[in-house]
Structure 1
């Protein structure tokens, strides 16, 4: 037996990385930014830095704790953000609707399609015109989408348009 094959027998294989679900649960429980950064570092080490769902958890926790700069830094490292991830970013910008609309524009430039969650987020920023454009382009409208747009028009005092949208419901 050669010395190379003998050495290979002595090398212990590295243990497999822990499954992502417990790590993501731990991310949700982070109480400090230092702790969150440690969990983020672990996600990077085990190869989940490009997992949109995992990174959306990091962004969500950052936004809940007013660490928007770090949330944006995380977002900018993701090679292929999807609509789900953009929606998470929009929600993180709830105090700065202009930024959210900027990111919405960026999402559209990347040819990503808004979904039924995008629409209520935009309405919550008071951007009824942008929300209506999204609503009109939706291939399938859920009950939530219909009631959200009707409610948006009602809250803005445009009862006539709210009624017109109501009449369009299937």
Structure 2
């Protein structure tokens, strides 16, 4: 009887630990809109890792889930703290050095207008959607993103199942 009770307690303990680990490690988000197309499309579901930045800093190119005014946004980190960002004739410059954006298409529908030299404050990030023409990002309402407002790094597209892929 004691053995059965101990096994039940162990099973409950493992279940609680598993649920808490899952809850505090991952979050699910549905992307609404075309701002991250073609990388992530409208109505796809993604999984993001909440602990990815506990011990590491966000990197340029990371796709992140951001909390802003009680809404979630999914964007790509372009500018890191203390960098200068500028876009001239579709060319991104970081600290006056041209940077190749491998993650956007050459299609004119994904282009952006010029962005004047912009200094990213310390402890902040500059984010853009991959579909620059359809994205509310650091150029507009979102502004600079504080690290505390980053919920996590996007890891996978999980739904629809036919679109499943690793995005990190």
Shorter-chain TM-score bucket reads under 0.3
More helix by share: 1
Q: TM-score, normalised by structure 1?
A: 0.26
Larger Rg: 1
User: 1 or 2 for the larger relative contact order (CA 8 Å, sep ≥6)?
Assistant: 2
More strand by share: 2
